[in-house]
Amino acid sequence: MGTTSMKKVKDRDFNYWKAQHLLNRAGFGGTPGNILALRNMGPEDAVDYLIDYRDVETEAVLPNDFDSNINKPREGNERQRYKRAREQGNEKALEDFRKQRQEQQRIDRRQMANIETWWLERMIETPRPFQEKMALFWHGHFAAAYRPIEDSYLLFLQNQLFRSNAVGNFKDDLVHGIIRDPAMIKYLNNNQNNKNSPNENLARELMELFTLGEGRGYGEQDIKQGARTLTGYTYNDNEFQYLSQNHDDGLKSIFGKSGRWDGHDFVEMIFTRPSASQFICEKLYRFYVNDSPNGFTKEQQSVIRKMAAKLKSSKWELKPVLRQLFLSEHFYDEDNVGAVIKSPVQLVIQAIRSLRTPTRNLPKLNEACALMGQSIFHPPSVKGWEGGRKWINTSTLFIRQNILLYLLTGRDEGSRAWDRGGSTEYDATHLVNHLQDIEGSNTVQDGVVYLLRFAHPVAAPDGRRVDEWVEYVNNRGGRFDNTTLINILALITASPEYQLS
């Protein structure tokens, strides 16, 4: 049984491997040099360096990074011409409008693909890995998909909402923000929610999936009344819009209280419910600590309750909760090392950031992530991705192995052994160069053990596997030349253990 202690991990215990564990979970992994730098900071400075990322310069995200006008609503003369064409049954004019719309949709789909590769590249290259990791978490929590929305710029704006408030205030920044987010409003049809015809989608998911958890502290009547508070919450072009004429300002009864509530009041009332702090901490725990396929143990529940108490006492600020978690003895307990299955995005980005492979082809990496079950900006439903063991099956495991081989060698699936397609060569020697500086550690045995431990988050590499790979290196001259290293890495990354973080 592991420790449930939320006491700060001792400085003397914060070794190289614990620093790597922190970097893998609170980011997307790192090279031996990155890990050593983090270890040398000590636990508190290392955690603060990651979560206080605003001190680290990065490329700003600007509103004009992408085209905001692709789906601009018809205005003025164009709107009048369209109205006349419909009234007069002018099929030729209507067909011209349809073609114009189809061209807009094609352009928008291309922009969506560009945004997908832009975000993947940002996650790979960012000097603020925790910020992007949290943006990925919120994308799966407040899940909205492109196909029902069909507006790439709205999803770009939502992505920036998650990035800007990655470790902000859960209630004030994120939940209040999401009910005013045009992408979510369109995705859950709240633009159709008005006093004459209430739409319950946003109210239901706000409680069931975003804040309280399914069936925890609310009933169907609360959903119906909550929907009334959100009437008139819509958007115009790329901006939130409140239409008072569509809002139901009558008395509403929610959680046993009555008032002329609006959407702001509804969110504030939700956060008086006990599970508002518990549910989000459960999701953070699964994402960062242990994805617990068989439900939470009593020990894990104890830790989650402590996180929830910290969140409430911090008035819904996320940073204190995550700082406490990443500094805790529990976070580094051996039961929680290798206890999370890498998502497809984590698998690809961590490989590039830790092994320092070439990126090669971003659209191809995005395609591979989609085939493995995680297409960013295309979650399967408002529930997001289930994650955990759902990531792994015979098909996805095959793709996982192939995409790592592609990153290491540049070879596509089905290509000839000698054909690398002109891809950038990969130099893997940086992974073992530092061993030469440690007296008595520059041996084949030490190198194989280190590579296995570096790639597999387990305390003791399998002895039989070590012996086999030591023999392999010795048969190739007894040294880690680049080709030998890449061959060993191909074996390591194809193993089941490499799927774990």
At residue 441, the pLDDT reads 53
CB 461, CB 499: distance < 8 Å = no
Span 350-373, mean pLDDT? 97
Least confident piece of the model among 116-130, 170-184, 426-440, 463-477: 426-440
Average pLDDT in the chain: 93
pLDDT at 457 over 90: no
467-481 tens-digit pLDDT: 998 999 999 998 889
CA distance 202 to 157: 19
CB 330, CB 336: distance < 8 Å = yes
At residue 414, the pLDDT reads 61
pLDDT at 76 over 80: no
pLDDT at 420 over 50: no
At residue 415, the pLDDT reads 59
pLDDT at 286 over 50: yes
Span 212-240, mean pLDDT? 97
At residue 96, the pLDDT reads 81
Least confident piece of the model among 37-41, 68-72, 82-86, 314-318: 82-86
pLDDT at 115 over 90: yes
pLDDT at 73 over 70: yes
Q: 8: helix, coil or strand? A: strand
Look up the pTM and report it. Answer: 0.95
Span 244-258, mean pLDDT? 97
Strands (E), 284-409: none
β-strand partners of 169: 317
At residue 277, the pLDDT reads 98
Give the H or E element holding residue 257: strand 257-259
Q: Which of 296, 388, 343 has the alpha carbon at shortest distance from 2? A: 296
Span 78-107, mean pLDDT? 85
Residue 2: pLDDT band (50, 70, 90) is low
Span 308-320, mean pLDDT? 98
186-211 tens-digit pLDDT: 999 999 999 999 999 999 999 999 99
Q: At what angle do helices 76-88 and 91-125 cross, to 10 degrees?
A: 130
At residue 93, the pLDDT reads 79
Span 231-257, mean pLDDT? 97
Span 410-425, mean pLDDT? 60
Label residue 53 exposed, middle or buried (CB < 10 Å: 0-12, 13-18, 19+). Answer: buried
Span 45-58, mean pLDDT? 96
pLDDT at 220 over 60: yes
16-29 tens-digit pLDDT: 999 999 999 999 99
Determine phi and psi for 256, rounding to 5 degrees: 80, 5
At residue 437, the pLDDT reads 60
Span 103-110, mean pLDDT? 96
At residue 413, the pLDDT reads 65
Strands 239-242 and 252-254, sheet pairing: unpaired
Span 71-77, mean pLDDT? 83
CA distance 463 to 467: 6
Residue 88: pLDDT band (50, 70, 90) is confident
Residue 132: pLDDT band (50, 70, 90) is very high
Residue 293: pLDDT band (50, 70, 90) is confident
Residue 301 tokens, joined: 């529940």
β-strand partners of 235: 240
Residue 418: pLDDT band (50, 70, 90) is very low
